[in-house]
Amino acid sequence: MTTSWLHLNFRTVFWATAALALAILLLFAFRPQPVSVDVGEVSRGPLTVAVRDEARTRAREVYVVSAPVSGRLLRIGDRAGERVQAGAVIATIQPAPPTFVDERSRQEVEAGVRSAEAALALARAELEGAEARLAHAQLEGARIETLAAASVASQSALDRARLDVRTAGAATANARAGVALQEAALEAARARLIEPRAASVTARAVTIRAPVEGRVLRVLQQSESVIAQGAPIMEIGDPGHLEVVAELLSGDAARIPAGAAARIEAWGEGPALRGRVRRVEPYGFLKVSALGVEEQRVNVIIDPIDPPAAWSTVGHGYRVEVAVTVWQADTVVRTPVAALFRSQGRWAVFKVEGGRARLRFVEIGQNNGDQAEVRSGLNPGDQVVLHPNQSLADGARVRPRPTP
């Protein structure tokens, strides 16, 4: 009896202990584990908000030299970077050669030449007749003058003789002018038959001179060619006096005052250059981005203020990046932007307290994309969860992920 009772009691205790151990194991197995999260710290320090975008450099004064007349531009060659003095000859333009004449046009021109030759022969014949009439009028006038001196011819006869001489002289002058006119017409008709290869290269030429002292920034027409009046040939400027042009969104440009500090980055090897905004142009323009989005942009002109030796390797038309300061404070409470998210229409963070994530609403001020100004809701030294996911809830247990 006693042995049976002890055996039964042992079995009960054994199975109860096993069930309790199993329950404890299941409890630990299915208990929610702390979520590994990245943690950032709320700090106090300076905060700068800047507008960043790509930009390009350019010489402050760029002179575009164009052709003053139409003609054949002689070869200039690759003179980019060459230094020129004001007034130096930089290009030469000669008269353009005549154009080719097709067969139909040639026959028309040749017919025109024959017509001009016939007209010239007719004008010369008329001149010959006019000269003969003039000679006769002069002889008759001289005879009447003699008779009038002897009181044989009347005064009216003398007047008529003098009139005939003057009339014949005017007709002769008119005939000579007609001959000159037909000779010019014949010359013009023959000139239309001149072939390009037969055109002689004369010394007549127009020289183009440099308007200012500087360097040739680029040559727009290197080879010899026939150009029209006003066609651009080259650009001249001084690459030692550069400015930076940033095409900023109009919304960002409206926040930038004249005189704002700027940083010029990604210009090459070396530290960022300092700059200052000289002018925000008053006129905006439409530009299509690489993604096909229409954007309204405004040119912001920035002057480098570092010594020229610091950026002597930068030239005209170089690509750079600029960061223009629009707001700055020496000391603010700031939090990583990666910790912020929207909840119930307000900014919020998950603050780490006692190993748990606590939802806290915050008031945010300025934001530079990396740090944000905290006006209320957090204090320096607070730990916040970075990049919280949607599964993280208020009060959830969290474990800071080790920093690599």
CATH number at residue 75: 2.40.50.100
Same domain, 73 and 217: yes
Residue that is last in its domain, among 212, 237, 262: 237
Residues 374/44, Cβ–Cβ less than 8 Å: no
- Which one, of 395, 403, 57, 59, lies nearest residue 244 by Cα? 57
Q: Provide CB contacts within 8 A for 156, sequence distance 6+.
A: none
CATH of the domain at 396: 2.40.420.20
The stretch 143-152 carries a mean pLDDT of: 76
- Which one, of 160, 135, 165, lies nearest residue 148 by Cα? 160
Determine the pLDDT at residue 201.
Answer: 52
One-letter amino acid at 302 equals: I
Same domain, 205 and 93: yes
Same domain, 207 and 89: yes
Same domain, 187 and 304: no
The stretch 201-228 carries a mean pLDDT of: 84
The stretch 377-389 carries a mean pLDDT of: 91
User: How does residue 168 score in pLDDT terms, banded at 50, 70 and 90?
Assistant: confident
The answer to whether residue 88 sits within a structural domain is: yes
Considering only residues 184 and 21, tell me which one the structure prediction assigns the higher pLDDT. 184
Say how many domains are in the chain.
4
Determine the pLDDT at residue 70.
Answer: 87
DSSP-derived secondary structure for 40-101: EE-EEEEEEEEEEEEEEEEESS-EEEE-SS-EEEPP----TT-EE-TT-EEEEEEPPPPPP-
At residue 34, does pLDDT exceed 60? yes
User: How does residue 140 score in pLDDT terms, banded at 50, 70 and 90?
Assistant: confident
Can you say whether the dihedral through the CA atoms of 388, 389, 392, 394 is positive or negative? Answer: positive
- Give the best-scoring range by mean pLDDT among 3-17, 108-122, 231-245: 231-245
Residues 76/93, Cβ–Cβ less than 8 Å: no
Same domain, 323 and 293: yes
CA–CA dist 250, 261 (Å, integer): 18
The stretch 141-160 carries a mean pLDDT of: 77
Determine the pLDDT at residue 199.
Answer: 47
The answer to whether residue 20 sits within a structural domain is: no
Same domain, 135 and 261: no
Residues 221/227, Cβ–Cβ less than 8 Å: yes
CA–CA dist 241, 213 (Å, integer): 13
Residue that is last in its domain, among 278, 311, 328: 328
Determine the pLDDT at residue 198.
Answer: 47
What is residue 203's DSSP assignment? Answer: S
Give the 3-state secondary structure percentages of the chain, helix then strand then coil, rounded to 5. 30, 40, 30
CA–CA dist 267, 56 (Å, integer): 10
- Give the best-scoring range by mean pLDDT among 6-15, 26-35, 153-162, 253-262: 253-262
Predicted TM-score (pTM) of this structure: 0.62
> What is the chain's mean pLDDT, rounded?
84
Q: pLDDT tens digits for 336-346?
A: 999 999 988 89
CA–CA dist 370, 338 (Å, integer): 8
CA–CA dist 91, 234 (Å, integer): 9
The answer to whether residue 277 sits within a structural domain is: yes
Determine the pLDDT at residue 26.
Answer: 57
The stretch 120-134 carries a mean pLDDT of: 86
Q: Residue 255's Cα: distance from chain center in Å?
A: 24
The stretch 314-342 carries a mean pLDDT of: 92
User: How does residue 65 score in pLDDT terms, banded at 50, 70 and 90?
Assistant: very high
CATH of the domain at 286: 2.40.30.170
Give the range among 52-56, 85-89, 183-187 with minimum mean pLDDT. 183-187
The answer to whether residue 30 sits within a structural domain is: no
Determine the pLDDT at residue 298.
Answer: 94
Q: pLDDT tens digits for 69-123?
A: 888 888 998 888 889 998 899 898 888 777 777 778 778 878 888 888 888 888 8
Q: Which domain holds residue 67?
A: 63-97+201-237
Which H or E element spans position 328? strand 319-336
CA–CA dist 241, 154 (Å, integer): 94
- Which one, of 35, 25, 77, 55, lies nearest residue 272 by Cα? 55
Which H or E element spans position 295? strand 294-304
Q: pLDDT tens digits for 245-293?
A: 999 999 999 999 889 999 999 888 788 899 999 999 999 999 988 888 8
Determine the pLDDT at residue 120.
Answer: 85
The answer to whether residue 27 sits within a structural domain is: no
Same domain, 252 and 315: yes
Same domain, 246 and 228: no
Please name the residue that has the structure tokens 């912020």: 340
Considering only residues 226 and 192, tell me which one the structure prediction assigns the higher pLDDT. 226
CA–CA dist 308, 310 (Å, integer): 5
Same domain, 185 and 122: yes
Same domain, 92 and 208: yes
The answer to whether residue 219 sits within a structural domain is: yes
The stretch 198-220 carries a mean pLDDT of: 78
Residue that is last in its domain, among 299, 328, 357: 328
Determine the pLDDT at residue 379.
Answer: 92
At residue 1, does pLDDT exceed 60? no
Same domain, 391 and 379: yes
Task: Tell me how many helices (H) and strands (E) the chain has.
Answer: 4, 22
123 class by beta-carbon count within 10 Å (0-12 exposed, 13-18 middle, 19+ buried): buried
User: How does residue 64 score in pLDDT terms, banded at 50, 70 and 90?
Assistant: very high
Residue 377: strand, helix, or coil: coil
CA–CA dist 333, 382 (Å, integer): 11
Same domain, 340 and 273: no
Determine the pLDDT at residue 25.
Answer: 61
- Enter the tokens of residue 33: 């584990």
Residue 374: strand, helix, or coil: strand
Determine the pLDDT at residue 142.
Answer: 81
